[in-house]
Structure formats: structure tokens, C-alpha cells
Amino acid sequence: MRPVVLYLRSREVPAALAGAVGTVTVLWVLGFASDYLNEEGGLGLLAVVAGTAIAGSGLAGADIDLDRTGAIAWPSRRAAHIIAIVATVIGIVTATALTGDQLAPAAQITRDAIGMSGVIGLGAATLGVSRAWIPLLTWTLLATLWAPPSTATGQQVLTWMIQPSGTTPATSTALILGATGVVAYAILGPRP
């Protein structure tokens, strides 16, 4: 049990978990206070983005070079870490349904968490952990501000995170991003 605890502490998982829970709670309170703020699941999307970005900060330890020299099989641990982020974000955001005032449909939360965790994994592998949130936030903001949900397949692919649940191109895009992010992060690890 001790190696697991050390891994979680070195990746600041307890702090990230507390931050994600706190952020989702604040967003749920805002949504509960005003139906206007949570129109079409907007706060649910924001909760998934925030939870994923916060959790993504723990994709590297304090010394990446030291991690790379360890005689530990990192790819399986890295893949498990991304999958745990997906499960945790889904769990936290869908837990708002227990109150009777869910932030977004569970299928949409699941799709967004999978895709966004993949984007965070790709960001960590290419830009480094400290900048991994930038592509996720930029893509989401651009999709939210300038591209309303559409029936055109190309636009559904580019704006997958704001499409209604059950949209096949959006779901496929999220799954591809999720798988690509897990594989890239597992194999390459975080960029120094």
C-alpha cells in the first residue's frame, strides 16, 4: 500500500481531488441558484473542463528526469492515471444528479471527460504538465463562443464537447482523442 500512497502524494492527487470537488461544488451551487447559468448543460461542460484541467496537473512528479531513470514500468501506471482521471471526473460531476439538479446528462459528461482527459494527456506529452491545460481550455472556449451546435459532420467533430449526447461524430471524436491521449502519455510520459 505504501508505494501507491507515495505515488499519489508525489503527483499531488489529494490536492487535485480536493480542487476538483470544490470547483464542481461551486458550479453546482451556481447552477442550482440560477437555471439561466446552466442552460443546455453549460456548467456541466465547465465542470468537466475544470475537473480535468485540475487533475491534469498531477500527471508528472516533482522531478521528471528522476522518474524516467526509475526501474519502474511507467506506461501502465501512466495509462491508469489518465483512466483514473476520467473515472474521477465522471464520478464527481455525475454525483450532482444525487441532489436532483444534475449539471448535464451523464452521457454527455462521460463523453466530455473521455475526450478532455485525452487532450490533457496529449498536452502533457507534447507541451508539458504545466501547459497541458492550454489546448483543452482554448479548444473548449473557441467551440463554445464561436460555433453553435450544428448538424454538419465536420463542425460536430470540431465542436464535439458542446454537441448533444448521442451525436455520433462527437462521440467518435471524444473516444479517438481519449485513446490517443492515453497511448501518447503512457508511451512518451510528460514532457520536461
Answer whether residue 36 shows pLDDT above 60.
no
State the residue range of the domain holding 141. 2-188
Threshold 0.85, pTM exceeds: yes
- How many domains are contained in the chain? 1
66 pLDDT band, cuts 50/70/90, is low
Of 99, 111, 127, the residue nearest 48 (C-alpha): 111
**DSSP symbols for 5-60:** HHHHHHTTHHHHHHHHHHHHHHHHHHHHH-TTTTGGGHHHHHHHHHHHHHHHTTSS
Kindly state the DSSP code that residue 1 receives in the 8-state scheme. Answer: -
Which residues are CB-neighbours of 150 under 8 A, at least 6 positions away?
156, 159
State in Å, rounded, how far the first CA of the chain is from the last one: 28
**Above pLDDT 70, what percent of the chain?**
90
The CA distance from 184 to 169, in Å, is: 22
Q: What is the pLDDT of residue 38?
A: 56
164 pLDDT band, cuts 50/70/90, is confident
User: What cell does 163 get?
Assistant: 454537441
The CA distance from 189 to 68, in Å, is: 9
The CA distance from 43 to 149, in Å, is: 16
**DSSP symbols for 105-125:** -HHHHHHHHHHHHHHHHHHHH
